[in-house]
Structure formats: structure tokens, C-alpha cells
Amino acid sequence: MSIDRYRTRYKEVAELPTGDIVTCCEDGKLRVWTQDEARALPVAARMQQESEAKEAQAAAAAKSASSIDIASLPDVSQMASIRGQDGEMKMFREGNMATVYTWKQSTGCWERVGEVVGAAKQSTHYEGDAYFEAGEYDHIFKVEIGESGAHKPLPFRMSDNPLVAAEKFCAREGINKSCLEQITSFIRRNTGLSSAPSSSSATSASTPASDLKDQWASYGGGVSKVAPLMQVFTFAKGNFEGAGKKIMEFDAQFPEDSPAHLTALEKQYLLDALEKIQSPSFMKKEFRACELDVIFEKLAVWPSSKAVPVMDVWRALALHPQYHAVHRKSGDHGWMTVVVALRHLKEACASQADETPLILCCLRFLANLMDLTTNRT
């Protein structure tokens, strides 16, 4: 019997000294898999287990029927050219219906299990916004936010990453990142998605223990020598009071008619923003559009020779939840700031002088950009 027939998420897999495999599953059952016929269950009991596993798979397929796109399924006429592993379940298209088949290794063919009831995919059109593209979605949730109880749309496709969708929603609605886990759980709960991907290949109970151990290591049981992609290193601390003074000093060196020179009003906007950055509650502060315009538009034209304090301020703001406003304002999804940072890096590396401070500030800014999922996507 195939271990993968039990469509339940494994909590732990271990190898016993006897060579048997023990699986602990989220259904609360502990199963021991052996190649020794003398220790195995009677044939009748194994047949009963196999029947229950097939029924559970069919029920799971029916439960997720609303997310099935029948048009994308292989036609039943293609079945002869498609092979599977023993016990593998697969859906085929029969007319306008989705039908579940299981691969029988003993006969070398697919065996019909049954039709998936209500398999027609129900999708809803979303008009689109700055964070979610227009198009058809599997779900458009109405999420209640704020004390007023207003409902905001949260579009989601079954192929989407729930965490990415949740962070886009938070960025669009200006919600603090502390709500991410709650919104992600809401999406998973209402779409039937598990919190971890299931195994894509069936593993037979007769598989050698060493092979299963290697497979388990490939799913996270082994020790990685590199940091995972989602492990982000950020740089938050800094002398932002000193950076502000340096910006004012450099600004005084520009002629008054220079496009880079700050007006009296722009200087005040900048000072107001710097005061918020230096605050212990920086992440909860709200920045005005005029303050962000001065920092990310006016200071963006400054030459590399005066860019160190500017990039230091950019580095801090890249961690703020309101940084998404830069995406919306520029209309280029934030690429303008990345281009400016890369330009400074290029000029610093080509300079004969020691430009280490500028290089560090630019690299730290780019690293901080990875803290928000909206920036990574």
C-alpha cells in the first residue's frame, strides 16, 4: 500500500531500529510501515485500509471541487499515454465532468474511482487595483476592517500564495503587519489550503528505509548550509539625527536656483519626517505624501557625492509599512528607488576615492526592501 494514499499531512516520520517506518499524522493516528510479512496486518485488514484510503482521497477531491478547472484536465482519451505510481490518484476530463482514477501497478492501467461532484470551477471577476490585477479569481472575500465595520475585497486565486495576498491586502488598506498571520489563516481556512505543501509523489510501503530517509531530508529534515529565501536580514539602527544635519549641510551647497535645492517648505517637510524616523514608535508613525515626495523624489536627483545621508534615510523608510506609497506614487512599482540605489553603487565602485559608506548604505537599503512581501513581488 502507498503511504501517500493517506491524504493527511505528516507531522513526523522516523525509522525504527528494525528498519520499519513510523508516520505520525495530523489525523491523530500513528502508523507503522514494514516490509516483513510476518509483522504485517492480515490481508483483510490491509484491504480494508486501502478501501478507506481510496474513499478519503475521493472525498478530498470532491471537497476541493470548486477549485478545479475542468478545461485544464487531461482528456480521458489521453489516459493510455499517461502512467502513474501504484495508488496514485489523478483526475481526467470526461465531457463536462471531472473523474477520479487510480493507477493500479498490478494491471498497469488506470482504474475508475468515481466522478467529482460539482467540479465546475466558479470564478468571479475583479476590477483590479494597484496591488491586485484585474481578472478572474477563485474567491473574492469581504474582509471587515476598522471600527466602522467596512468590508474590503480580498481577491484570491487557488494558485496564489496566501501570505503574499495577505501582505498586499495590508499594504493596500494601510493595515499593520501584525495582522498578517490572522489574514493568512483566514485565507487558508476559507480555501481549504493546508499550511504546508503535500508530497507530490507517492511513496510505497515497500520503499527501502534509506530512500525514504533521503526523501524526508529533501523536505526539510536535513540541515541546510544556506539561509532560506524568506530569512531576511534588515538594518534598522542608525544616527538619523546626524543624517538630517548632513542633508541640510549638503543642501546649502546647491545654488538657490538648482533643481536639487530644497525650498523652505520642503526643508520643513523633511525635518518633520526625520523627527518621525527618530521616534521610538517610528513604525507606527504616519508620513504625509508631501514628506515622502521630498525624500524619494527631490533627494533622488542628488549626485552620488552627496547621497550617503539620503540613502541612510531611505534605508530606514524601506522598513516602514507605509513604504508601499512609494510604489503607488511613482507608478513603477518602486523600481525608481532601486535604479537610484544601483546608480549610486555603480558610481561608487568606479570612483578612485573610498566610497565604502555609500556602498554600505545602498546595499542596506536594498536588503531592507526585501522585508516587505510587496517589495519582493
Render each residue's pLDDT in the chain as its tens digit; 377 residues.
Answer: 444 445 455 567 888 888 888 887 766 678 888 888 888 888 888 888 777 777 766 666 555 555 566 767 788 888 888 888 877 778 888 877 778 888 888 888 888 877 765 544 455 788 888 889 988 888 888 887 766 667 889 999 888 888 889 888 888 888 877 778 888 888 887 777 755 444 333 334 444 444 444 544 444 444 555 544 556 778 888 888 899 999 999 999 999 899 899 999 999 999 999 999 998 888 888 899 899 999 998 999 999 999 999 999 999 988 888 887 776 665 666 788 889 999 999 999 998 888 899 999 999 999 888 887 666 65
13 — phi, psi (to 5°)? -130, 135
113 — phi, psi (to 5°)? -100, -45
Distance CA 175, CA 372 (A): 13
CB 189 within 8 A of CB 167: no
pLDDT value at residue 160: 86
pLDDT value at residue 135: 87
Distance CA 66, CA 192 (A): 11
CB 3 within 8 A of CB 204: yes
Distance CA 368, CA 223 (A): 26
CB 204 within 8 A of CB 225: no
46: how many CB neighbours lie within 10 A of its CB?
A: 13
Mode of pairing for the β-strands spanning 124-126 and 150-156: unpaired
pLDDT value at residue 249: 93
pLDDT value at residue 340: 92
Orientation of helix 308-317 relative to helix 356-369, angle to 10°: 20
pLDDT value at residue 196: 44
pLDDT value at residue 255: 92
pLDDT value at residue 330: 59
Cross-strand bridge partners of residue 101: 90, 112
**Exposure string for 279-300, b = 16+ CB within 10 A, e = fewer:** eeeeeeeebeeebbbbbbebbb
Q: Count the helices and strands in the chain (H runs, E runs).
A: 12, 10
pLDDT value at residue 228: 47
Residue type, 189: R
CB 6 within 8 A of CB 53: yes
Distance CA 144, CA 284 (A): 21
**Exposure string for 79-89, b = 16+ CB within 10 A, e = fewer:** eeeeebebbbb
